[in-house]
Structure 1
Amino acid sequence: MFKKFLIFPAILIITALAVGLLAISPSNVEWAVNYFLGQEISIKIAEKTKVSATDANLSSFIVNLNNPTNCPLVQLENIQVKWWDSRSLRAEKAIVDYACILQIPTSDEQTESQLDLTALLASLPDMDIEIADLQFINTEEVTSPVVQQLLQSRLSTKVIYQGQKLTLEAMGNEAENNLFQLNATLVNQQLTGNLSYQPQAEQQHQLDFQTTLQHNLFDIPKQGKLNLHWQRDDLPLNKANLSLQWQDNQGELILQDIEHQQQILNVPFSVTENQLQIEKSQFYWDISALEQPMRGVVNLTLRKSSENWLPLDLDMRLSLFSSGEAGKGNIVIYGTNGTIGKEKINIPLQAHGNVKYDQSIAYVDAVFDVRGDENDLFALFKEKSTLRVNWKEPDANMNVRVPLADVIIGKYGVGGRLQAFLQGNTAQFADLDLHLDGQANQFIAGVTSLFSLRTTAIWRNGEILSSDDSNWWKWNFKGKATVKALKSTINVNGKGAWQSDRVEIQQLQANMGQFHTSGIHVPKIDLSLKDTLRWYYEEHKLQGLLQAKIPEVRLDYGGHLLNPILDLGIDGTHIKDFNLSGNMTAGSLGPIKLFAHYRHDELVGRVYWLEQSAKVFQPLFPQKWEWEILKGTIKGQTDFDVSTERGLQMGGHFSIHQGEIVFPDGELRGIAFALPYRYVNDRVELVKNPVQVSINYLKSGVLVAENLSVKVQGYYPYTKKRPLTLSELKLNMLGGEVSVNKFALPQQKIANVQLHDIDLSQALTMAEYTQVGLTGRVNATFPFWLENANCIICHGEITKTDNQDVNLKLGPELVKGLKSGGLTEGILADVVSEMNLQNLTASVNLEPNGMLKLSSNIKGYNPTKRNKNPITLNYNHQENVYELWNMINYGSTFEQNLEYDLYQKLNK
């Protein structure tokens, strides 16, 4: 190929000589030159030629390649030649046909060629040659963008030969930019010069060269020096210097990183007639853009296997050294009897060892062949070849194994059956075990710095076939892991693909075993895709739709949610940074709206539901309570935060309006409250503001109360340090009012129940006493202590109200019974059969076993007696109020159970 491009300067020389003879005759000159050129190349001189004694002007001069296409190699236009005072040739335009040059036969390259430089220069007269506009056409075969840019620029060249000194100047311009400039001088076989190349304003390249040419131009110079300097921000080495120098058969190549003042590459070499040998070549890669500095040593031998340089036999050994927190690593890549041919390359190699970085280690055990041609090399791995990576971070430890048998890796990516086995632990998962198995085709895994993208070929069984489909890895996956936050095992399987800049999960079946956390028990979760999960990692976009189904959620206190179904849309920028939105239903409950954001292993979001019937929350009541919701509405919202470190935290509010509940021995009506809360460390916190709870009507057995209101504040479950406080408790009962100013759970000090203006007749009616009649009203104070071992009500006090007397009247049967007891009893019965009580005080104590002790003092008179003599009585009474309550409540409970059963049947 090099010889082909020597055609152009040779053509210039032929042109100069031919034009110098034009005084004879253009047609005769054309015939004579073609005669000596032979059959492969011919010239054609335009008829419009003006010749004088001192100069000549030609409209065109063409050099043709005589083959079936008969293409023009070079065409010069508007040529002016002078030969009197000085010899010069100037052409306004020269057109070089690149495709035609490629058709020049190359069979001569198989034999030793001779081109005597000294003789060639000695045959040349002193002259100047200048081409103002040099153009290349038909350059479609050129694949290099750099070469294409040079060939398409505005080129000009000038050659001066004077006194055995040859000078060459060439320049290329693109728009306003000086693309390149070449200056070279040849004197006494010493070639020196420089080349500058600046494809963009911010890029600079400078080549300086000096060498002594051999007499045979095609022989390698025995001595020389090249120095290339560049400055480019788009390269790993932004600012560097590459120098090559040699003397006789010894030489050295050095690459220097100028920005970091570091020698990157040092290649000493020796060249003999049949061999190129590199021994102990060293390189060091410690650029800030790379996180792993690499150091290595290369030994390489290239041997001629015939008279020509190709094919070459190759032996090589490459040692790569690395270091990290886990120690030092070393990988050795070696092989012998490789072959580098003119069209094909085949190098059998082996790689063994490890690379260490920080706490991570990559192990390689591989046998492979490097095959292909110089433009498309690939490595074909053989059986039992494996890559293993042990990857460690502060919160993760992963082992990755990639079998490489029959895998192809080339400049266009990875092909063949590609598998990956992942095992280890991450921040979210323990005992992770995942297997991906699929087929890859020109898969580059987004690594554009190592691979090129090609869309017109595929690999199959080591062969390249035509296709428009490329850069993908399609796989099936299956595996399992333990979710740390839930201490539950999840199993997954499905299908996915990594194609171009997109990773997607197309099918997914996953199930998670039972877990119990934060007062919630879940027997299992089934997870599936309702739409493909796609991650466009270059566009920073993540999309998909998931569905989770749970047979039941059981709450520790006894409530449950039946058949929850959660539909979640995913929208984000990364698999570690995305939004969730969706709905949850559980039977007739819902839909409950959910919005959340997952980032840095933390899920933060909000759940809310619009106002709906309170009946849908029936499953939240434990069955053992036997509570039935009749009516009412509920709405609310909850903000939540879930992380491995802090667990589940929630906060929000919900409200109930006009709720009604029945239970076997009672009912609640007119329930209303708005509950702001926080849930932290498995505890509900009602600490921001007291929660106001109101109930219009309450009935439990024979006990009936109305207009109950209470403020609740504190924690649940409660402790001594974090109590639950009830304050300003009030309710209407027995015609009066019952109140508790403040009461804390667990109780740490005594509290007081205040009864005001209680109607005694309603109290006796509730107690179903028919033989005693009481009218009037009383007040009472009952100090109580639920956790006191001695008394529940401790020294309670009952007193008559100030504005009304209390009337006592015994029933006929009770009076008759008293009188039958004797004279004294008869007198007493006659005196107290009816009394107006002007003063009434009583002391009450209630023991934990239910024993009530009442000591009372009564002062009054019998209104039926004329004298109305004052009567003073001291009365003591003792009775188990638990047994009494059961007897009193029996009938009412029976009646309400019938009513409750009727409600249940109606609701069903």
Structure 2
Amino acid sequence: MKRAFRILLCFLGGSIALLILLWITISHWAPVVASYYLPKPFKLSFSEPRISHGQLGIANISITANDCTLVQLNSTRLSIFPLHAIVDSLDVKTECLSALEPTNETDNDPINIADVIDSIPVFSLVINNANIQPWSDYQGSIWLRKNQANPLEFDFSGDNLRLSSLINREHQLVIQNFLAFLPEQKQTIELFGDVQLPLMANQLPEKGELNAYFKLINPEKFLQAKFSWLNDQGVFSVMDTDTKEELLYLPWLLSPSRIQIAQGKWQWKEADIPLQGGISLQVDNWNNTLSEMVFSGRINMLTQAKKGKANIVLAVPSTQINLLDADINFRLHGQVKYDDMVLDINLPAKVSGQLATPKVSFLSSSLLRAYGRLSETLILNEVRLPLAGTSLSEEGISGRLQAILKVKEQYWGDFDIHLDGKANKFALDKGKWIWNYWGNANLPSLSANWDIKGNGSWQDTLITLNSLNTGFDQIQYGLLSMRAPRLQLSKPLVWQRDQNKANFNGQLQLTSERMQFGTESYLPKVTLNADLSGKSPAEFQLKGDLSTKDVGPIVIFGRWDGERLRGEARWPEQSVTAFQTLIPADLGIELKQGKLFSQAAFSITPEDGFIAGGHWRVENTSLWLKDGELSGLDFVLPWRLKQSTWTLGGKGAVELRIKKLNNLFELTDIKADLAGSYPPTENRPLKLTNVGFKTLGGEVSMDLLRWPQTHASSIKLRQIELSQLFTILKVSQFAVSGKVNGELPFYLNNPEWIVKDGWLENSGPLTLRLDTQFVDSIREDNISAGSAMGWLQYLEIKRSRTDVNVTNLGLLNMKTILEGYNTQEKKKREVHLHYQHEENIFQLWRSLRFGSSLEEWLEKNL
């Protein structure tokens, strides 16, 4: 007995010593044992365990592979009675799973889920903070437990994720609450439901129902997704919770080798046009590996618009999917109709390469085509995008790129533009794309035909326009017309899009064989050279010069900020004779001498068009007129041009000053002030004020001449010497001396009158002398008339009144009353003479001017 007791005592002592040894060395041998159960190359390690206050504490527990920590548990505390564990933090890095080595071991014995759950003892596990990378936004606390009420309960609580679920005694998984907030999408998803767990791990759940609620941001809509099944069939549906409309309905059927969705439906009414269609999908060999599965399906979309109904179909034939070397054919074909537009689609294509970075190749006959009315004024006759031979991948677009655009704009006209080029792995600021382009248009609004041709390239961040040749046969817009304007590149246009070395530069030349202003004014061949420099087409400066045969160069500076082109132009001082072509020939004006200087600022925007303003300065200018000569012309003309309307004068009127004008009568010290708009309107008339000049020993003035005229302009005559007048008129039968005053109401657009109710009166005594031979010839023919003419042969006039009217046909009517006496008669008899005279002043003027015009022609040409 004693011997047996000693043996038992030694056995117990040895066992205790062994247990103590194992406990002391547990951190060394336990990882070795665990390595046999962990997948390679993962290893377990933990710090020395400590017992404190009846709990087993381990500071750190980790599972690592190749210096990558898959699982890290910090401050773990375990109590046995009852079984309870608390972990301060759990960190999991899923990226470490890439180190997992493949294995050929298979376990053919399925696990009985019910037995596993029933075998779990009553326990409680609390993890205060679980952080799984890369989903750190969803970290939170975990509470996993088994109690008398339920075999297993699981709770997760975090800022963006909450889950409460359990497995009841009927082995049914019940999701009591699932709430997830997606920070990037600002979306909340709520889910609940129950699933009948299968008996074995290799079986699917027999029945179940899951409901999820979530909210769309744009458009704002609350949706419910429902996934339910019983045995081998079920339904997945999405419903609008407000309207109770079913947006998606997918009935599915499961067999041992096939998953099938047949007669699925979808609709979406939140777009500009209602969309709806059907879905069919079939997966054969679904229980095999992915590479052995066979996929096929079809989805279509129905649209309806002004041009009727349309249908587009995406079809995928029976295809196996290889993640590393895919070869999937599909075809998208049909029509989409929207408003008054139609889009024809025929895209047979193939997906190849790795599905993580696939390549889509468009096969023969691939074409996109659209046509219809874009707006009330714009019709898209056709746009064609042939895509055969083009491929799209993660690296970009490769292959031939073509486009044909034909549009008709109600105001501007018809355009036909073509683009043809080739791309090599081209994406935005990556790869290379070279292109050629050409086109033409008919523009009735400008009475012009337009054409364009050129080529360029886009390589990485560098865009180069190598050539550009575009222009019109003519342009006619408002008062401006141009003959054969053409824009060309004199130096390639280069745009470097890299912000670190942004650059935009090039040189352009615009030429026009003739620039016409109105019907007669023109400039001969015009050449504009422009040098562009800046950072981008939305930010550059322009420096150029404009010149013609004799004019210029006009230096131009400008700046484009993406919305407005602003600039200024300076016209250097030069002789006015260079601008002879700007003066209409029918005015009969020929520039003789003088100097001109001008400068202007301008602005061009799509909304406001061309706006300009500046001033002209003319000094000591002389010119030939159709009926005379002008000299000593000086003025400064501020002006503004907007929408083909000239505004003359700035804060004040334009002061026009002329030293002398010889036009039948000699006019000196001419002055006039001009202000207003041209062409003039009722609201913005052109006004000529403060008009005056000296002539015939007196002065002529006018208060206001307004275009369009609303009332007569009054021409006032003061101290006009009649002897000078009759000398110029070359009247030989009689002579008149003395001065007169008068007022002539003058009309520009009266349907009947040029002068109406004008008058002339003497200013002091007048003297009338009749030619002796003229009086003698009358006496010979008529003695009584000759006697009367004798009274008038020398007449001193004390009162004279002449009423003057001129019709718009030039018919002059004068009614004159003379009161005076003949001092050469022995008896001073008073004479009262009433005289009426009619004559066409236009014919009279032409006859009087013939001699002077001949003299001027000889002076100018000999």
TM-score, length basis structure 1: 0.71
CA distance in 1, matches of 2:53, 2:747: 138
Offset, 1:300:
1.0
Superposed CA deviations along residues 209-231 of structure 1, whole A, max 9, x for unmatched, are 42222233243322222223334
Asked if residue 102 in structure 1 is aligned to residue 78 in structure 2, the reply is: no
Asked if residue 207 in structure 1 is aligned to residue 191 in structure 2, the reply is: yes
Offset, 1:695:
5.0
2:377–2:411 Cα contact (<8 Å) kept: no
Offset, 1:632:
6.2
* Partner AA of 1:520 in structure 2: L
CA distance in 2, matches of 1:526, 1:160: 85
Q: Secondary structure at the match of 1:376?
A: coil
Offset, 1:268:
0.9
CA distance in 1, matches of 2:32, 2:612: 103
- State which of 171, 188, 207 in structure 2 corresponds to 1:189: 171
Rate the CA distance shift 1:819–1:604 in 2: closer, same or farther, 3 A: same
Asked if residue 628 in structure 1 is aligned to residue 624 in structure 2, the reply is: no
Offset, 1:303:
0.7
- State which of 332, 338, 342 in structure 2 corresponds to 1:357: 338
CA distance in 2, matches of 1:368, 1:303: 23
Q: Which moved more, 1:272-281 or 1:500-509?
A: 500-509
Q: Which position in structure 2 is the counterpart of 1:491? A: 451
Offset, 1:286:
2.7
Q: Which position in structure 1 is the counterpart of 2:695? A: 733
1:286–1:292 Cα contact (<8 Å) kept: yes
Q: Which moved more, 1:763-772 or 1:427-436?
A: 763-772
Offset, 1:281:
1.1
Offset, 1:101:
3.2
Rate the CA distance shift 1:322–1:410 in 2: closer, same or farther, 3 A: farther
CA distance in 2, matches of 1:747, 1:197: 80
CA distance in 2, matches of 1:684, 1:522: 19
CA distance in 2, matches of 1:32, 1:719: 104
1:22–1:51 Cα contact (<8 Å) kept: no
Superposed CA deviations along residues 755-782 of structure 1, whole A, max 9, x for unmatched, are 5543243235435678977643356788
Q: What pairs up with 1:828-843 in 2 under 5 angstroms? A: 835=794, 837-838=796-797
CA distance in 2, matches of 1:70, 1:851: 118
CA distance in 2, matches of 1:497, 1:415: 14
Q: What pairs up with 1:754-833 in 2 under 5 angstroms? A: 756-767=718-729, 775-778=737-740, 801=762, 803-806=764-767, 808=769
CA distance in 2, matches of 1:704, 1:31: 125
Asked if residue 394 in structure 1 is aligned to residue 376 in structure 2, the reply is: yes
Superposed CA deviations along residues 688-714 of structure 1, whole A, max 9, x for unmatched, are 999787554443454212344568899
Q: Which position in structure 1 is the counterpart of 2:134? A: 148
CA distance in 2, matches of 1:788, 1:122: 116
Gap runs ≥5 in structure 2: 1-18
Offset, 1:729:
6.3
- State which of 516, 540, 545 in structure 1 corresponds to 2:476: 516
CA distance in 2, matches of 1:52, 1:715: 102
1:776–1:807 Cα contact (<8 Å) kept: no
Q: What pairs up with 1:700-719 in 2 under 5 angstroms? A: 700=662, 702-708=664-670
Q: Secondary structure at the match of 2:135?
A: helix
1:251–1:270 Cα contact (<8 Å) kept: yes
Q: Which position in structure 2 is the counterpart of 1:281? A: 264
Q: Secondary structure at the match of 2:421?
A: strand
- State which of 271, 276, 280 in structure 2 corresponds to 1:295: 276
- State which of 250, 256, 262 in structure 1 corresponds to 2:239: 256
Superposed CA deviations along residues 129-159 of structure 1, whole A, max 9, x for unmatched, are 44455566xxxxxxxxxx6123x86555443
CA distance in 2, matches of 1:281, 1:21: 67
Q: Which position in structure 1 is the counterpart of 2:14? A: none
CA distance in 1, matches of 2:672, 2:40: 113
* Partner AA of 2:723 in structure 1: S
CA distance in 1, matches of 2:210, 2:559: 65
1:841–1:856 Cα contact (<8 Å) kept: yes
Q: Compute the RMSD of aligned alpha carbons.
A: 6.1
- State which of 381, 386, 411 in structure 2 corresponds to 1:403: 386
CA distance in 2, matches of 1:748, 1:59: 105
Rate the CA distance shift 1:154–1:276 in 2: closer, same or farther, 3 A: closer
* Partner AA of 1:628 in structure 2: L
Rate the CA distance shift 1:533–1:547 in 2: closer, same or farther, 3 A: farther
Offset, 1:622:
2.5
Q: Which moved more, 1:305-314 or 1:551-560?
A: 305-314
Offset, 1:247:
1.5
Q: Which position in structure 2 is the counterpart of 1:219? A: 203
Asked if residue 470 in structure 1 is aligned to residue 470 in structure 2, the reply is: no
- State which of 350, 356, 359 in structure 2 corresponds to 1:369: 350
CA distance in 2, matches of 1:824, 1:567: 84
2:775–2:789 Cα contact (<8 Å) kept: no
* Partner AA of 1:703 in structure 2: F
Q: Which position in structure 1 is the counterpart of 2:319? A: 338
Rate the CA distance shift 1:708–1:179 in 2: closer, same or farther, 3 A: same
CA distance in 2, matches of 1:655, 1:700: 25
Offset, 1:326:
2.4
2:822–2:828 Cα contact (<8 Å) kept: yes
Rate the CA distance shift 1:86–1:431 in 2: closer, same or farther, 3 A: same
Q: Secondary structure at the match of 1:485?
A: helix
1:592–1:608 Cα contact (<8 Å) kept: yes
Q: What pairs up with 1:363-762 in 2 under 5 angstroms? A: 363-391=344-372, 392-398=374-380, 399-409=382-392, 414-426=397-409, 429-439=412-422, 470=430, 475-495=435-455, 508-528=468-488, 548-564=510-526, 585-587=546-548, 588=551, 590=554, 615=576, 617-623=579-585, 625-628=588-591, 630-631=593-594, 660-663=621-624, 665-671=627-633, 696-700=658-662, 702-708=664-670, 730-738=692-700, 756-762=718-724
Identity of aligned residues (%): 21
- State which of 122, 138, 144 in structure 2 corresponds to 1:159: 144
* Partner AA of 2:232 in structure 1: N
* Partner AA of 2:311 in structure 1: N
Q: How many residue pairs get matched?
A: 824
CA distance in 2, matches of 1:885, 1:221: 116
Rate the CA distance shift 1:153–1:659 in 2: closer, same or farther, 3 A: same
1:43–1:61 Cα contact (<8 Å) kept: no
CA distance in 2, matches of 1:723, 1:842: 35
CA distance in 1, matches of 2:35, 2:572: 105
CA distance in 2, matches of 1:342, 1:245: 30
Q: Which position in structure 2 is the counterpart of 1:117? A: 113
Asked if residue 319 in structure 1 is aligned to residue 300 in structure 2, the reply is: yes
CA distance in 2, matches of 1:746, 1:52: 110
Rate the CA distance shift 1:796–1:61 in 2: closer, same or farther, 3 A: closer
1:49–1:56 Cα contact (<8 Å) kept: yes
Offset, 1:518:
2.6
Rate the CA distance shift 1:713–1:159 in 2: closer, same or farther, 3 A: closer
2:414–2:443 Cα contact (<8 Å) kept: no
* Partner AA of 1:524 in structure 2: A
Q: Secondary structure at the match of 2:100?
A: coil
Q: Secondary structure at the match of 1:220?
A: coil
CA distance in 1, matches of 2:615, 2:542: 20
2:599–2:615 Cα contact (<8 Å) kept: yes
- State which of 86, 105, 116 in structure 1 corresponds to 2:82: 86
2:775–2:793 Cα contact (<8 Å) kept: no
Rate the CA distance shift 1:110–1:519 in 2: closer, same or farther, 3 A: farther
1:350–1:366 Cα contact (<8 Å) kept: yes
Superposed CA deviations along residues 465-486 of structure 1, whole A, max 9, x for unmatched, are xxxx538866443222234531
CA distance in 2, matches of 1:491, 1:776: 72
CA distance in 1, matches of 2:694, 2:852: 20
CA distance in 1, matches of 2:663, 2:126: 120
Offset, 1:491:
1.8
CA distance in 2, matches of 1:514, 1:119: 93
* Partner AA of 2:83 in structure 1: R
2:35–2:43 Cα contact (<8 Å) kept: no
